[in-house]
């Protein structure tokens, strides 16, 4: 029996943000998403072979998200993502970043760019998605020198190491997933400089009385919405929040949530169907 099985289908782009939630209770190895010129995206969910119940549950998720046809893929007993990683190349983000996803060798950054070494892993951001790019682009225009930064839902840690590289006085990389915390630690150790963010496995409330000048949060709206009040609590009086992970049609809902907490939109960015918002305390709050 083959060791790995892929369940492949097409789902609407508008439902991409719901994919992580829908798969959160299933023991999947990873998800591969291919962009498309149409309104659909090509999704392959990789699973360990031999679990017929898990395969059927995964198929049901893709059907529920709108896939009309499904395809089953199988690989031999090897790293299921090895062939995908063979095709990875370093790439530019914004004006200043050079994201290098290669594990066994490095690619020097072009002149004027900062190299971030981020090896892709299942479920952890590598800088390729628009939502991560939006925050990296925001950071390169930020005055990070000497400030206190919190990265909520750090995942791979790419945003935390970027803030550290830009001269933040302190960076806390926070994630309630212990595996993500370990991955962020590995990412920090992989950089070309001595990168020392504080890695914390837990929720925002575990930070106690700590306050931050800049809070980064690259999470889908259903994940960051319930913790926005806690994020505001740890925000310094003159601090800012950068939220990403929103589709354009979710903007109104997010702005309403921010205004309800006394936060005002200071800037917005857009890539594809995704947006990011930088917010700060409103004048009267």
Please check the confidence at residue 85 and state whether its pLDDT lies above 80.
Answer: no
Task: Give the pLDDT confidence score for residue 194 in this predicted structure.
Answer: 96
Task: Give the pLDDT confidence score for residue 180 in this predicted structure.
Answer: 85
Structure tokens at 142: 């930020």
Please check the confidence at residue 6 and state whether its pLDDT lies above 90.
Answer: no
- Give the CATH class of 4-84: alpha beta
Task: Give the pLDDT confidence score for residue 259 in this predicted structure.
Answer: 96
Task: Give the pLDDT confidence score for residue 284 in this predicted structure.
Answer: 58
DSSP 248: G
Characterize the bridge pairing of strands 274-281 and 263-271: antiparallel
Residue 254 pLDDT level (bands cut at 50, 70, 90): very high
pLDDT tens, residue by residue, 90-119: 899 999 999 998 877 788 999 999 999 998
Domain 123-281 has CATH 3.40.50.150: yes
Domain ranges of the chain: 4-84, 123-281
Same fold, 4-84 and 123-281: no
Residue 150 pLDDT level (bands cut at 50, 70, 90): very high
Cα separation, 173 vs 149, in Å, equals 9
Task: Give the pLDDT confidence score for residue 5 in this predicted structure.
Answer: 85
pLDDT tens, residue by residue, 111-131: 999 999 998 764 455 677 889
User: What is the average per-residue pLDDT within 59-69?
Assistant: 91
DSSP 153: T
Residue 86 pLDDT level (bands cut at 50, 70, 90): low
Please check the confidence at residue 83 and state whether its pLDDT lies above 60.
Answer: no
Give the least confident one: 74-83, 198-207, 245-254: 74-83
Task: Give the pLDDT confidence score for residue 48 in this predicted structure.
Answer: 78
Give the least confident one: 77-81, 192-196, 278-282: 77-81
If phi > 0 it is left, if psi is from -120 to 50 it is alpha, else beta; for residue 12 that is beta
Please state at what angle helix 178-189 crosses helix 158-165, rounded to 10 degrees.
40
State the chain's mean pLDDT as an integer. 88
């Amino acid at each position: 029996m083959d060791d790995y099985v892929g369940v492949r289908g097409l789902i609407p782009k508008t439902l991409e943000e719901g994919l992580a939630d829908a798969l959160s209770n299933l023991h999947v190895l990873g998800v591969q998403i291919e962009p498309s010129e149409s309104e659909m995206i090509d999704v392959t969910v990789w699973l360990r072979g031999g679990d017929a119940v898990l395969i059927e549950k995964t198929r049901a998720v893709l059907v529920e998200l709108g896939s009309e046809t499904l395809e089953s893929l199988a690989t031999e007993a090897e790293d299921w993502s090895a062939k995908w990683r063979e095709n990875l190349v370093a790439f530019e983000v914004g004006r200043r970043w050079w994201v290098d996803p290669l594990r066994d060798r490095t690619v020097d950054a072009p002149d004027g760019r900062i190299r971030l070494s981020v090896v892709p892993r299942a479920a952890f951001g590598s800088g390729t998605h628009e939502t991560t790019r939006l925050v990296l682009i925001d950071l390169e225009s930020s005055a990070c020198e000497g400030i206190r930064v919190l990265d909520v839902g750090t995942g791979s840690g790419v945003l935390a190491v970027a803030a550290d590289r830009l001269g933040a006085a302190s960076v806390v990389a926070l994630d309630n997933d212990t595996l993500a915390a370990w991955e962020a630690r590995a990412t920090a150790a992989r950089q070309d400089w001595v990168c020392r963010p504080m890695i914390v496995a837990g929720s925002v409330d575990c930070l106690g009385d700590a306050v931050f000048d800049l809070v980064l949060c690259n999470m889908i709206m259903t994940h960051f919405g319930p913790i926005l009040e806690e994020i505001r609590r740890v925000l310094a009086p003159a601090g800012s929040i950068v939220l990403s992970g929103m589709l354009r049609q979710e903007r109104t809902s997010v702005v309403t949530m921010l205004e309800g907490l006394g936060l005002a939109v200071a800037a917005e960015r857009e890539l594809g169907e995704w947006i990011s918002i930088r917010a700060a305390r409103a004048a009267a709050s």
